[in-house]
């Protein structure tokens, strides 16, 4: 009589076990983090999966940002999109306008019943990914901001004080002059020229880059970066280029390598460059804030973010959305967010994680790593929340092309900016037409 | 050679050495880079031309995975090499097989719409994979072939190049051979097997190398069609190393690139031995 | 051109072409049709809001002055790539055909560039020329040529042409060599006995007999230059400076994959397809007449 009972008990417990195992929901996460950053992503997933039994996050590397977006679009159209997709910041407007393709993070968090306070996130970071009505659309994951990198050894050799980086553009020009005089072939350069010299430049000086609050206020936004201030700045850079003080090193992040190698002494670029420089640079290194024009009222305000955020795709089961909510909750925990910030150099996502990092003395041990944060952790104005435009990828390329004409000496600054605006507005008009709700 | 013209021979060697030197130079640099450490590469400007001392480290890491000096952990290249090998072989063999048959039909038979068929095949060259990749993905998804070897290979087998080349070659086959086979009472397939195939040795060998490498270097299609990282081919592995946002470990990239170049080189050597040599002997 | 006595069979030819037709109907024509249909649509990236807009995408293309300019850029680029690629490869193949010693070594070494994936090739060439790593750029500067492919349009074009030719030379070399090796020795020997010099022999016997291969490579190289070179441009110059290296196919790739403008990308594909088909038909009509089968 014992055996059948035992067998039954065994059978029931096996069924329960299998049932429980099958109840673990799998969540597909497509990302574009290769190298050391891919390691970070995998560790986050491992940690989250180990901490609870209901959900399992499966991160998959799907190529660069544009490739993973193309893959996700193809998959979505075929009916098997991932649950979570990492999308770069310039794709934000495209994702927002995608009818029915995404599910806002705010909605997911609210439906899950988990604690969620939008105010806990750093305003300049989370605000970019928030809809006009205040609902958070995507989860800020890896955000960077432009800062001013400089080579302390080169400064010393040129007779400049290595502990006092230039903070205004006139000072940058002076420093560049001294560097050139001391024999330096590339005093100043920049990467991501639209992001650093036009978009962040505008927010830093509290002026608009595009109308309708840089696109936050509606699809009928148009570009306005040909104000006298913008023209003046590009003209200054053009003059610097003519006298060899500013050397254009290419689009995107092509200039980063020239700073790390010591070829260029000063460079505005992403705060995320910190890791490379400390690992591979053979010189004393300093970080300063993005330069500004002191005669502009309201400057410096705050800079705009780069990087990417996590979007949740639509059409998934409710239990899967609960899992996504749990994962985002996990990512927002102060310890987790602080660890991520310190490990990668990306901005801390929540105010609490910033304070935690500060208290731990991280910023003192690694001077300069707080520059990016302090540039962002301010109250934003309507004009400085960032730039969110449709067809932004094309607009940035147009800006690259037109400005290259200026660096080549073929175009005047105003002419280039006007032309960029004309071509860019065509893109915005097309986006508006295609996405009129 | 036909007559002994040492001057021409020396000239030929010179041309070849110069040509190979220039063409091989980037690969030489890649090899050098793979023997250095990441810091060395990022720190040397321009890139140094002398080998560094990290040959074993770089290749061990690249082949078997592990933790790098930057704290990243890289996947082993070895399984990815196997996936690439499998799919490249299937693609090469598949393409050559169906193209041989098609070209044979187009050149040696008369049937209605023959010209249309040739142009239909030829047009597949005119729209690259990248452009039609979204809809192709949908078709493969509907056929439930995602994440499979079949899904990786079959859509890439539609090759016009092979059919075109075989057509060119078949057109040069002298009519006498066809007549002779006919008179012997051989049917078309007999002619194909006993006469045409042996003659096509050099073309098949050359095409095999090309199509193998074509399959070997596929990136965009595997990226879309596979989600299971165990199905990733080697080029994706290389791309993943380059996508490290800011800090790229070039020594690993270069080591993996060199590893990725070895199987195609091996294929060239093998093809040379099996096909061409046989043909030259047959001529005698 | 057609053999004078083709085989006759009612069903065999259809059976022979069936596998290839099957594959291309399912995996080419069906998806290609859908892809090209997108050229008359306007939609958001995810296919949510789809709108039929007729020829609007095409109109937009031809109203863009820079698009028309890229026809010129592409013509120059393709001519250089095909010309250099074929010429240099032929030279190397002839040389390799003459030498007995080391032939295998030369052949193996020369095939390696083709074995490099396009994504990697672009990066390699960038490392050769981009500061701060560029060995060749460094040497050029030492020799007095201020190499700057970032701001000098001619340098940029030279860079992408070099990278594209480098990748394609192995391919051309392999086929030229195969073609040369398939030429019966007896013909060449007969001419040698008649007293013809190697130069004469080449142009009167070898080159005509090589013409089927040459024609094949001409068409394939043209298709390569027009269609397969975007990865190189993407890795090196991104079409810059300005639009100096923005070849047509790069814009197709850029619009389809980076800008998510499916309609525009599809429209450009239609135009590009039309151009290449026209060029190919011309080649078949005029050049093939001179091909010696």
A62 contacts in B (CB within 8 Å)? 223
Q: Which of C116, C130, C176, C288 to mutate to test the interface with B (most CBs of B within 10 A)?
A: C116
Nearest by CB to B70, from A73, A263, A279: name it: A279
Q: How confident is the model at residue C262 (pLDDT cuts 50, 70, 90)?
A: confident
Give all chains having 3 or more CB-to-CB distances under 8 Å with chain C: A, B
Dist CA A414 CA B117 (whole Å)? 57
C268 contacts in A (CB within 8 Å)? none
Q: Where in chain B is the domain with CATH 1.10.3720.10?
A: 79-229
Dist CA C66 CA C72 (whole Å)? 10
Whether B131 and C6 lie within 8 Å, measured CB to CB: no
CATH of the domain at A357: 3.40.190.10
Sign of the Cα torsion A315, A319, A321, A324 reads negative
B138 contacts in A (CB within 8 Å)? 74, 77-78
C154-189 as b/e: b if 16+ CB within 10 A:
ebbbbbbbbbbbbbbbbbbbbbbbbbbbbeeeeebe
pLDDT, one tens digit per residue, over A122-161 is 888 888 898 888 889 999 999 999 999 999 999 999 999 9
Distance from CA of A3 to the nearest CA of B (A): 44
Domain tally for chain A? 2
- Residue A168 falls inside a structural domain: yes
pLDDT, one tens digit per residue, over B257-274 is 888 888 877 887 777 666
pLDDT, one tens digit per residue, over B22-60 is 888 888 888 888 888 776 776 666 677 777 777 887 788
Q: How confident is the model at residue C203 (pLDDT cuts 50, 70, 90)?
A: confident
B73 contacts in A (CB within 8 Å)? 39, 42
- pLDDT at residue B4, as a whole number: 65
Dist CA A132 CA A129 (whole Å)? 10
Residue C243 has pLDDT above 90, yes or no: no
A381-403 as b/e: b if 16+ CB within 10 A:
eebbbbbbbbbbbbbbbbbbbbb
Which among C20, C220, C224, C2 has a CA at the least distance from the CA of B164?
A: C220
Q: Which residue of B has its CA nearest to A308?
A: B245
Is C204 an 8 Å CB contact of chain B?
A: no
Which range, A58-67, A174-183, B204-213, B234-243, is most confident?
A174-183
Reported residue count of chain C is 293
Residue B282 has pLDDT above 50, yes or no: no
Is A407 an 8 Å CB contact of chain C?
A: yes
pLDDT, one tens digit per residue, over C273-286 is 888 889 888 888 88
User: What radius of gyration, in Å, describes the C-alpha atoms of chain A?
Assistant: 24
A41 contacts in B (CB within 8 Å)? none
Q: What is the DSSP annotation of A309-334?
A: EEEEESS--HHHHHHHHHHHHHHHSH
Dist CA C133 CA B184 (whole Å)? 67
Average of per-residue pLDDT values in chain C: 85
B38 contacts in A (CB within 8 Å)? 280
Q: Which of residues 66-95 of B touch C (CB under 8 A)?
A: none
- pLDDT at residue B279, as a whole number: 42
Dist CA A385 CA A144 (whole Å)? 14
Mean pLDDT by 10 residues, chain A (437 residues): 58 52 81 83 94 92 87 88 93 86 93 88 85 88 92 92 92 94 92 93 93 89 94 95 92 86 90 80 89 90 90 93 94 92 87 92 87 83 86 92 93 94 92 80
Q: Which of residues 48-67 of B touch C (CB under 8 A)?
A: 49
pLDDT, one tens digit per residue, over C104-161 is 788 778 877 887 877 778 878 887 887 677 788 888 888 888 888 888 889 999 999 9
- C-alpha triplet C122, C124, C125: angle, nearest 5°: 65
Dist CA A88 CA B58 (whole Å)? 32
Residue C265 has pLDDT above 80, yes or no: yes
Same domain flag for A158 and A125: no
Q: How far is CA A115 from CA A244, A322, A351, in A?
A: 55, 12, 16
Cβ neighbours for B79, distance < 8 A, ≥ 6 positions apart: B230
Residue C242 has pLDDT above 90, yes or no: no
Same domain flag for A134 and A183: no
B142 contacts in A (CB within 8 Å)? 78
- Residue A11 falls inside a structural domain: no
- pLDDT at residue A296, as a whole number: 92
Distance from CA of C52 to the nearest CA of A (A): 11
Sign of the Cα torsion C99, C102, C107, C113 reads negative
Residue B115 has pLDDT above 90, yes or no: no
Dist CA C285 CA B275 (whole Å)? 33
C141 contacts in A (CB within 8 Å)? none
Whether C259 and A391 lie within 8 Å, measured CB to CB: yes
Considering the domain delimited by C63-290, tell me its CATH architecture: Orthogonal Bundle (1.10)
- Residue A84 falls inside a structural domain: yes
Q: What is the DSSP annotation of B145-194?
A: -TTSHHHHHGGG---HHHHHHHHHHHHTS-HHHHHHHHHTT--HHHHIII
B110 contacts in C (CB within 8 Å)? 2, 6, 8
Dist CA B236 CA B277 (whole Å)? 35
A94 contacts in C (CB within 8 Å)? 44-45, 260
Tokens 């065994």 -> residue: A10
Whether B240 and A38 lie within 8 Å, measured CB to CB: yes
Q: Which of residues 204-263 of A touch C (CB under 8 A)?
A: 248-252, 254, 257-258, 261-263
Dist CA A311 CA A139 (whole Å)? 7
Give all chains having 3 or more CB-to-CB distances under 8 Å with chain B: A, C
Give all chains having 3 or more CB-to-CB distances under 8 Å with chain A: B, C
Average of per-residue pLDDT values in chain B: 80
Q: Which residue of C has its CA nearest to B233?
A: C117
Same domain flag for A69 and A110: yes
Domain B79-229 matching CATH 3.40.50.1240: the answer reads: no
Q: Residue B51: how many CA atoms within 13 Å on its side-chain side?
A: 11
Whether B245 and A256 lie within 8 Å, measured CB to CB: no
pLDDT, one tens digit per residue, over C14-23 is 898 898 999 9
Q: Which residue of B has its CA nearest to C101?
A: B13
Least confident stretch, B99-103, B142-146, B230-234 = B230-234
In this prediction the ipTM stands at 0.84
Is B266 an 8 Å CB contact of chain C?
A: no
B191 against B280, higher pLDDT: B191
- Residue A87 falls inside a structural domain: yes
Whether A73 and C150 lie within 8 Å, measured CB to CB: no
Whether B243 and A34 lie within 8 Å, measured CB to CB: yes
Q: Which of C141, C245, C259 to mutate to test the interface with A (most CBs of A within 10 A)?
A: C259
Is C284 an 8 Å CB contact of chain B?
A: no
Whether C120 and B20 lie within 8 Å, measured CB to CB: no
pLDDT, one tens digit per residue, over C30-54 is 888 888 888 888 887 787 778 888 8
* Tokens, residue A301: 């305000």
Phi, psi of B109 (to 5 degrees): -125, 160
At residue B244, the 3 state secondary structure works out as coil
Q: What is the DSSP letter of A118?
A: G
Residue B284 has pLDDT above 50, yes or no: no
Distance from CA of A248 to the nearest CA of C (A): 8
What residue numbers bound the domain in which A166 lies? 146-303+390-434
Give the residue extent of every domain in chain C: 63-290
Q: How far is CA C27 from CA B87, B159, C24, C195, in A?
A: 17, 11, 5, 55
């Amino acid at each position: 009589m014992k055996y059948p009972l035992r067998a039954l008990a065994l059978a029931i417990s096996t069924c329960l076990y299998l049932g429980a195992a099958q109840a673990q929901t799998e969540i597909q996460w497509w990302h574009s983090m290769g190298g050391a950053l891919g390691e970070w992503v995998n560790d986050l997933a491992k940690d989250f999966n180990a901490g609870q039994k209901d959900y399992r996050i499966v991160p998959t590397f799907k190529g660069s940002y544009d490739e993973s977006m193309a893959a996700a679009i193809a998959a979505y159209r075929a009916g098997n999109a991932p649950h979570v997709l990492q999308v770069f910041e310039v794709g934000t407007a495209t994702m927002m306008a995608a009818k029915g393709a995404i599910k806002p993070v705010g909605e997911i968090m609210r439906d899950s019943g988990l604690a969620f306070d939008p105010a806990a996130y750093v305003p300049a970071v989370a605000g970019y990914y928030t809809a006009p009505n205040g609902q958070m659309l995507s989860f800020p994951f890896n955000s960077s901001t432009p800062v001013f990198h400089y080579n302390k050894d080169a400064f010393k050799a040129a007779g400049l004080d290595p502990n006092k980086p230039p903070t205004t553009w006139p000072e940058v020009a002076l420093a560049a002059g001294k560097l050139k005089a001391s024999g330096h072939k590339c005093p100043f350069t920049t990467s991501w020229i639209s992001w650093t010299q036009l978009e962040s430049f505008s927010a830093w000086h509290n002026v608009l880059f595009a109308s309708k609050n840089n696109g936050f206020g509606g699809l009928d936004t148009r570009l306005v970066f040909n104000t006298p201030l913008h023209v003046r700045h590009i003209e200054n850079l053009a003059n610097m280029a003519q006298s060899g003080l500013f050397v254009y090193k290419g689009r995107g992040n092509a200039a980063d390598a020239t700073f790390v190698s010591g070829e260029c002494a000063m460079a505005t670029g992403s705060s995320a460059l910190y890791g490379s420089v400390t690992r591979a640079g053979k010189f004393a290194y300093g970080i300063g804030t993005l330069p500004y024009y002191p005669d502009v009222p309201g400057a410096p305000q705050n800079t705009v973010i780069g990087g990417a955020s996590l979007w949740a795709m639509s059409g998934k089961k409710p239990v899967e959305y609960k899992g996504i909510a749990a994962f985002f909750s996990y990512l927002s925990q102060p310890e987790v967010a602080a660890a991520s910030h310190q490990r990668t150099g990306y901005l801390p996502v929540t105010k609490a994680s910033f304070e935690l990092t500060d208290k731990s003395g991280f910023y003192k041990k690694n001077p300069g790593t707080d520059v990016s944060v302090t540039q962002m952790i301010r109250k934003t104005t309507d004009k400085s929340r960032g730039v969110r435009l449709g067809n932004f990828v094309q607009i940035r390329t147009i800006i690259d092309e037109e400005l290259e004409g200026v660096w080549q000496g073929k175009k005047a600054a105003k002419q280039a900016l006007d032309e960029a605006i004309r071509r860019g507005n065509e893109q915005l008009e097309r986006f508006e037409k295609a996405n009129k709700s | 050679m036909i007559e002994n013209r040492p001057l021409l021979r020396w000239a030929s060697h010179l041309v070849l050495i110069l040509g190979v030197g220039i063409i091989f130079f980037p690969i030489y640099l890649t090899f050098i880079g793979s023997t250095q450490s990441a810091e060395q590469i990022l720190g040397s400007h321009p890139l140094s031309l002398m080998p560094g001392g990290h040959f074993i480290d770089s290749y061990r890491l690249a082949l078997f995975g592990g933790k790098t000096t930057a704290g990243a952990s890289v996947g082993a290249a070895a399984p990815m090499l196997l996936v690439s090998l499998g799919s490249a072989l299937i693609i090469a063999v598949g393409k050559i097989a169906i193209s041989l048959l098609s070209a044979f039909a187009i050149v040696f038979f008369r049937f209605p719409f023959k010209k249309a068929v040739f142009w239909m095949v030829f047009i597949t060259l005119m729209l690259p994979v990248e452009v039609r990749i979204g809809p192709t993905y949908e078709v493969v998804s509907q056929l439930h072939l995602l994440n499979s070897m079949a899904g990786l290979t079959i859509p890439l087998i539609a090759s016009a190049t092979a059919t075109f080349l075989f057509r060119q070659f078949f057109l040069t086959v002298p009519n006498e051979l066809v007549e002779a086979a006919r008179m012997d009472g051989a049917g078309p397939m007999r002619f194909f097997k006993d006469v045409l195939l042996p003659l096509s040795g050099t073309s098949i060998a050359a095409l095999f190398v090309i199509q193998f490498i074509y399959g070997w270097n596929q990136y965009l299609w595997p990226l879309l069609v596979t989600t299971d990282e165990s199905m990733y081919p080697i080029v994706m592995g290389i791309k993943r190393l380059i996508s490290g946002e800011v800090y790229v470990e070039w020594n690993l990239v270069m080591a993996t690139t060199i590893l990725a170049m070895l199987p195609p080189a091996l294929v060239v050597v093998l093809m040379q031995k099996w096909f061409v040599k046989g043909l030259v002997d047959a001529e005698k | 051109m057609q053999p004078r006595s083709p085989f006759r069979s009612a069903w065999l030819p259809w059976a022979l072409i069936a596998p290839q037709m099957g594959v291309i109907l399912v995996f080419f024509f069906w998806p290609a049709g859908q892809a090209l249909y997108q050229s008359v649509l306007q939609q958001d990236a995810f296919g949510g809001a789809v709108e039929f807009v007729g020829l609007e995408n095409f109109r937009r293309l031809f109203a863009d002055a820079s698009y028309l300019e890229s026809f010129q850029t592409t013509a120059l680029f393709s001519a250089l790539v095909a010309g250099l690629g074929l010429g240099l490869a032929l030279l190397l193949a002839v040389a390799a055909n003459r030498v007995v010693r080391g032939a295998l070594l030369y052949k193996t070494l020369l095939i390696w560039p083709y074995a490099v994936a396009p994504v990697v090739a672009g990066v390699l060439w960038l490392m050769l020329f981009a500061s701060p790593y560029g060995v060749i750029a460094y040497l050029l500067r030492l020799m007095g040529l201020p190499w700057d492919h970032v701001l000098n349009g001619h340098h940029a074009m030279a860079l992408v042409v070099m990278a594209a030719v480098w990748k394609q030379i192995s391919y051309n070399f392999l086929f030229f060599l195969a073609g040369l090796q398939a030429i019966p020795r007896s013909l060449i020997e007969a001419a040698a006995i008649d007293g013809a010099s190697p130069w004469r022999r080449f142009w009167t016997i070898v080159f005509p007999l090589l013409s089927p291969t040459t024609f094949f490579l001409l068409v394939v190289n043209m298709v390569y230059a027009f269609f397969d070179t975007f990865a190189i441009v993407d890795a090196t110059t991104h079409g810059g400076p300005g639009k100096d290296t923005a070849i047509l196919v790069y814009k197709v790739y850029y619009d389809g994959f980076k800008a998510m403008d499916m309609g525009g990308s599809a429209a450009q594909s239609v135009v590009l397809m039309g151009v290449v088909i026209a060029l190919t038909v011309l080649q078949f009509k005029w050049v093939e007449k001179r091909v010696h089968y």
